[in-house]
Structure 1
Amino acid sequence: MQFKHAPAAVSAVFDDPNLVSAAGLVPMLGLARKAGLDELTQSRLSVPTDKGSNAGAKVMALVAGMLAGADSIDDMDLLRHGGMGRLFDRTYAPSTLGSFLREFRFGHVRQLDAIASRVLGNLTGDTPLLQVRTGEQVMVDLDDTIIEVHGYQKQGAGFGYSGVRGLNALLATASTASSAPVILGQRLRQGKTGSPKGAARIVGDALATLRRTGAATGATPLLRADSAFYGHATIGTAIKAGADVSVTVRMDPAVKAAIATIPDDAWTMIEYTDSIRDETTGQLISKAEVAEIDFTAFRSRKKAERIAGRLVVRRIPDLNPRQVEQPTLFDTYRHHAFFTTTDKEAMDTVVADKTHRAHAIIEQVHADLKNGPLAHLPSGVFTANSAWLVLAVIAFNLARAAGLIADKAGRLARATTATIRRTLIHVPARLARSARRVTLHLPKAWPWEAAFARLFATAHAPPPAPIS
């Protein structure tokens, strides 16, 4: 593509009051309103009156800014250009929204958590965000990530397991084979916090939210996590809530002793269609052997707290075995094991191994959020950043619902938030008013016109007639 005119023949003037750069916010906020975001916030969020008045409108404004690409408080100014004031009421200044967030305390963040849970439940009532086929399980994935911060004014910032100075965000997601992940629960923690701290509570909250969506009806959800979350509190909470677990274990003496009892003829060779990266060395591998053995977790605890299940083990011939005269089993192979309570008849050893490895899908959610609102944590106040995380999750789930509504059978149904923003939200429009109606004049031949039209029609459909 080449420029059509001479540079001197073109000028730029910011003078049109009827243009907007993100017309897709119209159906997106319509979708948020249908999910009850403003009403739930107004009724449930008790931020002090002087800063918390019109809490519903302020939360809607913050979510709208995130949907449009804002990753800081100052970026919320993108809601106040051109004809935005003609489309939306209460387009608050960034300073007002920043003051509102700084009024949050831990209790207010928990109230916002409850609002996010109910909004997701309302979204799934109208949109099949989690499509569960017959005999299929909903996968609930748990993992944390470090959000890097800079400067010394961030409350709670510290050096965590990654060696990066930041804050720790713990997320729980849900997905199925035919549905992209949605976020069930979230918690912001101090940067130096260990991964398992508070994990049991977020597992309980996430599974309660999953039940509210109705996606787990008739099927047992499966909690997947890495070895940092292998503890009785987390696993016990999941089982008590009616879920199965698939959690990587640490190679402690009990696990090694169990692996050593697996007979040589019990191992099954598997070849991966796509090479996978070894968790220990980082090298790509294309084949391995898997086997399993019955295993009781947490044997050191009292009998009622022990959990029976299976230990599924994947072993890989070591590329650089230690040079010893009489190598042992653990000198010859590298072993990766996970504990699962799934039924062997429904999920054999090979399938269980493949299912557990798919836990890495949650890393895509971390990357998606960091490519948007979590590129920064905008405040020096820890609770303000905690609220920011919850709002980012609400925006993520709204974008997921919008993509599914707009293009149920196409790529937008599983697209990243950045793609949905580019195709459905960042649509320029010119406003025209006639007979008390506002018309959005959108670009001719917009490639995603049909998808936008479907989203717009759904978000602005009249409510169903009451049943007499």
Structure 2
Amino acid sequence: MPVFDDPKLVSAAGLVPVLELAESAGLSEAIDEACTLPAANLAAKVRTVVAGMLAGADSIDDLNLLRAGGTARVLGPVRAPSTIGTFLRSFTHGHVLQLHAAHRRLLGGLAAKVPALVGEDDLVFVDVDDTIREVHGYAKDGAGFGYSGVRGLNAMITTISTPSTAPLIAECSLRQGSTRSGKSADWHLKRTLTTVKAVTGPAQRVWVRGDSAFATAKNVAAALKAGAWFSFTIPAWRTVTTAISQIPEQAWTAIQYPNAILDEETGQWVSEAEVAETSFTAFVSKKKSEQVVCRLVVRRVKRLGQAPATGQGELFDVYRHHAFITNTTLPAVEADRYHRGHAIVEQVIAELKAGPLAHLPSGKFAANAAWLAFAAMAFNISRAAAVAAGTGKARMATMLRTIISTPARLAATGRRLVMHLPDRWPWQAAWTSLWDHAVGPPAPATS
């Protein structure tokens, strides 16, 4: 017969080392110094939201899980969902921007605390994308119908990653649902590129990547001003199709993918393609100073099940072309391989939607914008905890299942509080590694 009567049980004991890692990276200090929101115990309320998200909460009411059993005894002050709801509704646009400043400072602290978080690869990728978070009802400020055809709010995400490390969220912004994907993206890229300098080494080359919605003169200019490489998928403008048609047949290099990739437009799996490049001047409709002379790298794939046409139309009847502009100096085949990796930002969006962004919990736009900022903090903390635990690129759901949702029983011995964890816990080594990293001395400085 079940009886809910034990005040010493903790259902998510893994929150203790995860939050300790965040605190050692400066979570509370960043909030207190960056935010001027007139709310009592500001850092405690932020910790409540972030801890709840790490423990699987995707709504305000879910934060109640932190108040069960002895959880609050090991986490510190925890606020009730009703208090958090009032707290979120008190945010203004300016206060949300302050949250983003705190988020950037926290990211720098996490990178310093866990040096392997960003790694030492030669390349650092900055990827940008947006998504529509569907909402229901008519009480959501800013909701509208965007490119996806569903009613929702638009979230823009920029990430930082390397060939050997998983992506981190550098910037995020909640926008009206009807917002065009690339609107004001250059503003977010500029802030992201500034953030990158704080978390990467001076010898690392930054590469900005994006799909065709972000192929704008302003975004290219932002990358160039920061001294970064760029590659943006480019729409089939007339200048693009003309340039492709003039590529000589002998210029195409055949490539074969180690693993087949899915052609999103046809739904077919592709294992073979050809790559070529040509010089190109982008944005010719702009004034001369905004035009960009660069490389046009093109990947072409045969249309399956179609017989070759005759005449001049053969080039575009037989092949599907995927082109991007870039200023990289890598060979075309290698540049194409790395550019296709920009879809990694979609993994981050999927993780957020499967976790804290399963819902946007408030009817007030600024409250939902703050919720997105907290979700970004939780995401990066989870990523840092995964690296500290030695589990590499483990996602939020994996960290929740293996580390965070570890049950424990509290016991007091003298003046110490001891957490008794399950015997033969399969992830004991990872849990212990995270604990040692979180409560141990800071990592030695490197020069």
Instruction: Determine the C-alpha separation between the residues in 2 that align with 1:448 and 1:89.
Output: 25
SS at 1:282 equivalent: coil
State the one-letter code of the partner of 1:362. Answer: V
* Pair 1:367-2:355 in alignment: no
Corresponding residue number in structure 2 for 1:131: 119
Corresponding residue number in structure 2 for 1:5: none
Asked if structure 1 preserves the Cα contact closer than 8 Å seen for 2:99 and 2:373, the reply is: yes
State the one-letter code of the partner of 2:119. Answer: Q
* Pair 1:40-2:27 in alignment: no
What pairs up with 1:321-360 in 2 under 5 angstroms? Answer: 326-328=311-313, 329-343=315-329, 347-360=330-343
Deviations 1:157-195 (CA, angstroms, capped at 9, x unpaired): 111111121111111111111111111110111111110
Corresponding residue number in structure 2 for 1:294: 279
* Pair 1:73-2:60 in alignment: yes
Corresponding residue number in structure 1 for 2:406: 427
Corresponding residue number in structure 2 for 1:148: 134
1:322, distance to aligned residue in structure 2 (A): 8.8
Corresponding residue number in structure 2 for 1:273: 258
Asked if structure 2 preserves the Cα contact closer than 8 Å seen for 1:431 and 1:439, the reply is: yes
* Pair 1:221-2:206 in alignment: yes
Corresponding residue number in structure 2 for 1:257: 242
SS at 1:118 equivalent: helix
Corresponding residue number in structure 1 for 2:109: 122
Deviations 1:15-63 (CA, angstroms, capped at 9, x unpaired): 1110010011111111111111111212221112xxx111111101110
Percent identity, please: 52
Instruction: Determine the C-alpha separation between the residues in 2 that align with 1:230 and 1:448.
Output: 44
Q: What TM-score, normalized to structure 2?
A: 0.96
SS at 2:174 equivalent: strand
* Pair 1:54-2:41 in alignment: yes
* Pair 1:195-2:174 in alignment: no
1:116, distance to aligned residue in structure 2 (A): 0.4
Asked if structure 1 preserves the Cα contact closer than 8 Å seen for 2:14 and 2:403, the reply is: yes
Instruction: Determine the C-alpha separation between the residues in 2 that align with 1:204 and 1:216.
Output: 18
SS at 1:191 equivalent: coil
Asked if structure 1 preserves the Cα contact closer than 8 Å seen for 2:15 and 2:75, the reply is: no
Asked if structure 2 preserves the Cα contact closer than 8 Å seen for 1:203 and 1:237, the reply is: yes
1:150, distance to aligned residue in structure 2 (A): 1.3
1:242 to 227, 230, 234: 227
Instruction: Determine the C-alpha separation between the residues in 2 that align with 1:368 and 1:314.
Output: 29
State the one-letter code of the partner of 2:337. Answer: K
Corresponding residue number in structure 2 for 1:400: 383
Instruction: Determine the C-alpha separation between the residues in 2 that align with 1:88 and 1:277.
Output: 45
* Pair 1:377-2:360 in alignment: yes
Corresponding residue number in structure 2 for 1:24: 14
Count of aligned residue pairs for this structure pair: 442
State the one-letter code of the partner of 1:406. Answer: A
Instruction: Determine the C-alpha separation between the residues in 2 that align with 1:205 and 1:188.
Output: 15
Instruction: Determine the C-alpha separation between the residues in 2 that align with 1:356 and 1:131.
Output: 20
SS at 2:275 equivalent: strand
1:119, distance to aligned residue in structure 2 (A): 0.2
Corresponding residue number in structure 2 for 1:158: 144
1:126, distance to aligned residue in structure 2 (A): 1.6
SS at 2:50 equivalent: helix
Q: Taking structure 1 as reference, are residues 361 and 274 closer, same or farther at Cα in structure 2, changes over 3 Å only?
A: same
Asked if structure 1 preserves the Cα contact closer than 8 Å seen for 2:257 and 2:272, the reply is: yes
Corresponding residue number in structure 2 for 1:12: 2
1:352, distance to aligned residue in structure 2 (A): 0.9
* Pair 1:98-2:78 in alignment: no
Corresponding residue number in structure 2 for 1:8: none
Instruction: Determine the C-alpha separation between the residues in 1 that align with 2:398 and 2:75.
Output: 24
Asked if structure 2 preserves the Cα contact closer than 8 Å seen for 1:42 and 1:54, the reply is: no
1:332, distance to aligned residue in structure 2 (A): 2.7
SS at 2:157 equivalent: strand
Asked if structure 2 preserves the Cα contact closer than 8 Å seen for 1:246 and 1:340, the reply is: yes
1:14, distance to aligned residue in structure 2 (A): 0.5
Deviations 1:312-365 (CA, angstroms, capped at 9, x unpaired): 00112223659966351222322110001101xxx1011111111111111111
Unaligned runs of 5+ in 1: 1-10
Asked if structure 2 preserves the Cα contact closer than 8 Å seen for 1:138 and 1:216, the reply is: no
Deviations 1:120-167 (CA, angstroms, capped at 9, x unpaired): 00110121211123xx21111111111111111111111111112111
Instruction: Determine the C-alpha separation between the residues in 2 that align with 1:115 and 1:251.
Output: 40
Moved more, 15-24 or 36-45: 36-45
Asked if structure 2 preserves the Cα contact closer than 8 Å seen for 1:210 and 1:216, the reply is: no
Corresponding residue number in structure 1 for 2:163: 177
Moved more, 311-320 or 355-364: 311-320
Instruction: Determine the C-alpha separation between the residues in 2 that align with 1:210 and 1:454.
Output: 27
SS at 2:140 equivalent: coil
Instruction: Determine the C-alpha separation between the residues in 2 that align with 1:72 and 1:218.
Output: 42
State the one-letter code of the partner of 1:427. Answer: T
Deviations 1:247-295 (CA, angstroms, capped at 9, x unpaired): 0001111111111111110001111121112243222111111100011
Instruction: Determine the C-alpha separation between the residues in 2 that align with 1:71 and 1:231.
Output: 35
Instruction: Determine the C-alpha separation between the residues in 1 that align with 2:443 and 2:311.
Output: 75
Unaligned runs of 5+ in 2: none
1:462, distance to aligned residue in structure 2 (A): 5.0
Instruction: Determine the C-alpha separation between the residues in 1 that align with 2:320 and 2:91.
Output: 48
Corresponding residue number in structure 2 for 1:6: none
Asked if structure 2 preserves the Cα contact closer than 8 Å seen for 1:222 and 1:243, the reply is: yes
Q: Taking structure 1 as reference, are residues 462 and 130 closer, same or farther at Cα in structure 2, changes over 3 Å only?
A: closer
